[in-house]
């Protein structure tokens, strides 16, 4: 999902960083396809949000915590915010740097507030602030997380943990295919929360390849593309073998594939 804030600190200055994020979120083929309701990309995003992200984010909310407002920073085309359960009359607000994504989100989800602006412009305090696949994209991850903690009573984070075998040779930075500026391990993800002045309330580490969501994701790809795995026939066959081995031998799969940290946090009380 795309980000809001942190642009001025990107390498090259404000103008260059604006161009970088515009290319990444407005023009990138993945996001162009995502804005088409009929595309495979849009269907895969909805599946991931509804079957993987939202259930695990909700599970991270402390028991008994009631909320009536939800702010999502980096809401992209709005799927997660729309799917996030909330009481009747609750306020939902999404912020995103991409004009194209916000325009799409407004059409799809007219009952939700969407803003193509800095999330610092939100007035007041939200009960829940969500950062879903955002912190790995911004130059100042600690600063963004700290500011999110000032905005909300509880901050929910899902963060990719890509300290795994298949990402060992990946060149993280502005030229990364997904725009990931850095790689996190589990310890680094949890330390990031603490370094932002927040207290971790609950957390879990989940490997999507072990879930029913991944099985459904493979089915959708096979239905739309004729194969559950990308690449030519030989490449797809190799990927199928690797995936089968990883799912059959759990310790191997967990070292081979990335996982996701789902966590809730709040501001630490002043001493």
Please give the order of strands across the beta sheet that includes 198-206: 113-115, 91-95, 69-73, 126-132, 152-161, 259-267, 198-206
Q: Please answer whether residues 206 and 162 qualify as being in contact, where contact means their C-beta atoms are separated by less than 8 angstroms.
A: no
Each residue's pLDDT, cut to its tens digit, for the chain (271 residues) gives 443 333 333 333 444 555 666 666 777 778 888 999 999 999 999 999 999 999 999 999 999 999 999 999 999 999 999 999 999 999 999 999 999 999 999 999 999 999 999 999 998 899 999 999 999 999 999 999 999 999 999 999 999 999 999 999 999 998 898 889 999 999 999 999 999 999 999 999 999 999 999 999 999 999 999 999 988 889 989 989 988 988 899 999 999 999 999 999 999 874 3
H/E stretch holding 160 reads strand 152-161
- Number of Cβ within 10 Å of residue 187's Cβ equals 10
Distance CA 142, CA 194 (A): 9
Give the residue carrying structure tokens 């927040």. Answer: 198
Question: Cβ atoms within 10 A of the Cβ of 112, count?
Answer: 19
CA torsion 221-225-226-228 (nearest 10°) is -30
Structure confidence at residue 23 (pLDDT): 62
pTM value? 0.90
Residues 81/91, Cβ–Cβ less than 8 Å? no
Cα separation, 165 vs 237, whole angstroms: 19
Query: Which of these, 10, 266, 259, lies nearest to 137 by C-alpha position?
Result: 10
- Put residue 76 in one of left, alpha, beta given phi > 0 → left and psi -120 to 50 → alpha: left
Determine the 3-state secondary structure of 181 from DSSP. coil
C-alpha span between 38 and 17 (Å, rounded)? 31
* DSSP-derived secondary structure for 21-84: HIIIIII-HHHHHHTSTTSHHHHHHHHHIIIIIHHHHHHHSPTT---SEEEEES-TTSHHHHHS
pLDDT confidence of residue 19: 61
């Amino acid at each position: 999902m795309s980000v809001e804030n942190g642009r001025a600190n990107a390498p090259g200055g404000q103008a260059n960083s604006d161009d970088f994020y515009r290319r990444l979120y407005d023009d990138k083929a993945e996001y162009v396809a995502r804005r088409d309701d009929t595309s495979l990309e849009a269907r895969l995003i909805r599946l991931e949000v509804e079957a993987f992200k939202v259930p695990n984010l909700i599970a991270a909310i402390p028991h008994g915590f009631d909320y009536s407002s939800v702010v999502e920073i980096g809401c992209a085309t709005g799927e997660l915010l729309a799917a996030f359960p909330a009481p009747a009359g609750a306020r939902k607000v999404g912020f995103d740097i991409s004009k194209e994504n916000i325009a799409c989100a407004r059409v799809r989800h007219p009952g939700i507030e969407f803003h193509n602006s800095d999330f610092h412009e939100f007035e007041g305090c939200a009960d829940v602030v969500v950062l879903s696949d955002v912190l790995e994209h911004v130059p100042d991850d600690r600063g963004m997380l700290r500011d999110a903690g000032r905005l909300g009573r509880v901050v929910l984070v899902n963060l990719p943990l890509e300290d795994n075998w298949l990402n060992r040779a990946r060149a993280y930075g502005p030229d990364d295919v997904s725009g990931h500026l850095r790689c996190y391990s589990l310890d680094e993800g949890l330390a990031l929360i603490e370094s932002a002045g927040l207290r971790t309330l609950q957390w879990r580490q989940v490997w999507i390849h072990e879930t029913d969501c991944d099985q459904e994701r493979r089915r959708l790809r096979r239905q739309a593309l004729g194969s559950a795995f990308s690449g030519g026939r030989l490449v797809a066959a190799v990927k199928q073998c690797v995936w089968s081995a990883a799912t059959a031998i759990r310790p191997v799969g967990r070292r081979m594939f990335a996982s996701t940290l789902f966590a809730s946090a709040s501001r630490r009380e002043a001493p």
